[in-house]
Structure 1
Amino acid sequence: MTQRVNIIKHVSQMILSLGVKSVRMDDVAGELGMSKRTLYEMFGDKEELLYESLAYLIDERCRDLSQKTKDCENMFEVLLISVHETCGNGFSSEMERRLTHNLKKFYPAVYDRIRCRHSQKGVENLKYALDKCNEDGLLDPNADIELMAQMFLLTVGNFLTDSNITLPENVSREEAFAVMAINFLRGMASVKGLQVIDQTLARQSHSKCRVQKESSEN
């Protein structure tokens, strides 16, 4: 691991535990046993360090998800497991909404860069997955894949980060997100695709019930 990557990993954990506003270059240099001058020579300023550390966190989440979906038989299954993992990990947790709020308020340039990067990679990844679904006959041949991918991610992005959205009583953001995502996939699916969706959801439900049963017995 290079020194640069080690610094980025360290700062990414500081961001998660302290928040972006509390990350100080003096503290980073002190904790890593290096001079502040060297830190500035490597990254230029705090905003660049924050950007690269946040980008690392996003990429790390993607790598973890890729590992969990490596044995999937088709891309619909990958997408549905992605939805399941997102909801299970509390993607729209209060901590992440606060992080987004503070980043936008105190470091708007970093916020814009991260949002742009995340949106671009999100569209690319979702379009790739949907193209694979289309090749496997899982999508309606008339579906506009690129447009649907862009619209879905735009809607989801606003939904997960907007704290002013009011949901029905006893409905979490994760539950609402799952419904949105599954309905999005159903709306684009062919008859074969709908069967794959139903089979995957049934397996997830069975697995969830089994885990809950084992947990109650222990």
Structure 2
Amino acid sequence: MKDKILEKASKMFMSLGFKSVTMDDIANEMGISKKTIYQHFSNKTELVKETASYLFDEITKGIDEIYRGNKNPIEELFNVKNYISDYFKAGNQSTIYQFQKYYPKIHDTLKKKHLEKLETCINKNINRGIKDGLFRNDIDISIISRIYFYGSSNLKDNDYFPIEKFNPEKVQLEFLEYHIRGIGTSKGIIKLEQLLKNQL
């Protein structure tokens, strides 16, 4: 039952927002009593915490699958961007904003966990790109991977990119192009421009 609650809660939080959805809403949607939910989660904050971890694990599985596909490093970055974009596309645009605003401690903890995971992936991606001649060999990988992480992490921050002014998908694409042009060789830039045409 706990896994079913997490699955349902994750869908509802993603589509309606972490603040907007109540324990009653989840219980009614599942056709169970609120008491049943409280048997597994002592309060909504605990449910949000475990749901956020559940979502993180689901997204991580998808990203790992992409990296196992042995695409070239620039294609990998585009595939990860498209995967994450599609994952959040069905959700309410205010979902991330609500999560950051109303559950900042949980958000910060998850962000650190995300950094550890993504930094490893980006390091491998850049190393392969250098080996394949797509990325410059004179960059500091540890610095670039963190710049990429913190930059990409703030793309969905409503304070920086309010959704009424900025199209989220365009922001992500512009950032990815900015990143690759900054570290790409001439060979890498050619590949980037080919992929950009496919995005249009």
Q: By the TM > 0.5 criterion, same fold?
A: yes
Which letter maps to 2:172? F
Match of 1:139 in 2: 135
Kept in 2: contact 1:127–1:146 (CA 8 A): yes
Match of 1:111 in 2: 107
Distance 1:201 1:40 in 2: 48
Which letter maps to 1:4? K
Match of 2:49 in 1: 51
User: Over residues 157-192 of structure 1, what are the superposed CA-to-partner deviations in whole Å (9 max), with x where a residue is unaligned?
Assistant: 22331335479x8x6342233122112112212333
User: Over residues 121-158 of structure 1, what are the superposed CA-to-partner deviations in whole Å (9 max), with x where a residue is unaligned?
Assistant: 23232223222223333221111112111112212322
Distance 2:156 2:126 in 1: 22
Greater fraction helix:
1
The yes-or-no answer on 1:95 pairing with 2:56 is no
Which letter maps to 1:114? L
Which letter maps to 1:95? N
TM-score by length of 2: 0.75
The yes-or-no answer on 1:149 pairing with 2:148 is no
Distance 1:110 1:199 in 2: 39
Which of the pair has more CA radius of gyration?
A: 1
Deviation at 1:113, TM superposition (A): 2.1
Q: Note the residue ranges of structure 2 that are not aligned, 5 or more in a row.
A: none
Deviation at 1:15, TM superposition (A): 0.8
Kept in 1: contact 2:16–2:92 (CA 8 A): no
Kept in 2: contact 1:84–1:178 (CA 8 A): no
Match of 2:125 in 1: 129
Identify if the C-alpha distance between structure 1 residues 13 and 159 changes in structure 2 by more than 3 Å, giving closer, same or farther.
Answer: closer
Matches of residues 41-80 of structure 1 in structure 2 within 5 Å? 42-64=40-62, 71=69, 73-80=71-78
Identify if the C-alpha distance between structure 1 residues 163 and 90 changes in structure 2 by more than 3 Å, giving closer, same or farther.
Answer: farther
Which letter maps to 2:187? K
Distance 2:168 2:19 in 1: 26
Aligned residues: 198
Q: Secondary structure at the match of 1:33?
A: coil
Which letter maps to 2:21? V
Identity of aligned residues (%): 24
User: Over residues 5-59 of structure 1, what are the superposed CA-to-partner deviations in whole Å (9 max), with x where a residue is unaligned?
Assistant: 22211110121233222433455456363673x6445444422221221232343
Identify if the C-alpha distance between structure 1 residues 175 and 17 changes in structure 2 by more than 3 Å, giving closer, same or farther.
Answer: closer
Identify if the C-alpha distance between structure 1 residues 73 and 40 changes in structure 2 by more than 3 Å, giving closer, same or farther.
Answer: same
Q: Tell me the C-alpha RMSD between the 2 structures.
A: 3.4
TM-score by length of 1: 0.70
Q: Note the residue ranges of structure 1 that are not aligned, 5 or more in a row.
A: 209-218
Deviation at 1:67, TM superposition (A): 5.3
The yes-or-no answer on 1:176 pairing with 2:174 is no
Identify if the C-alpha distance between structure 1 residues 176 and 135 changes in structure 2 by more than 3 Å, giving closer, same or farther.
Answer: same
Identify if the C-alpha distance between structure 1 residues 57 and 193 changes in structure 2 by more than 3 Å, giving closer, same or farther.
Answer: same
Q: Secondary structure at the match of 2:155?
A: helix
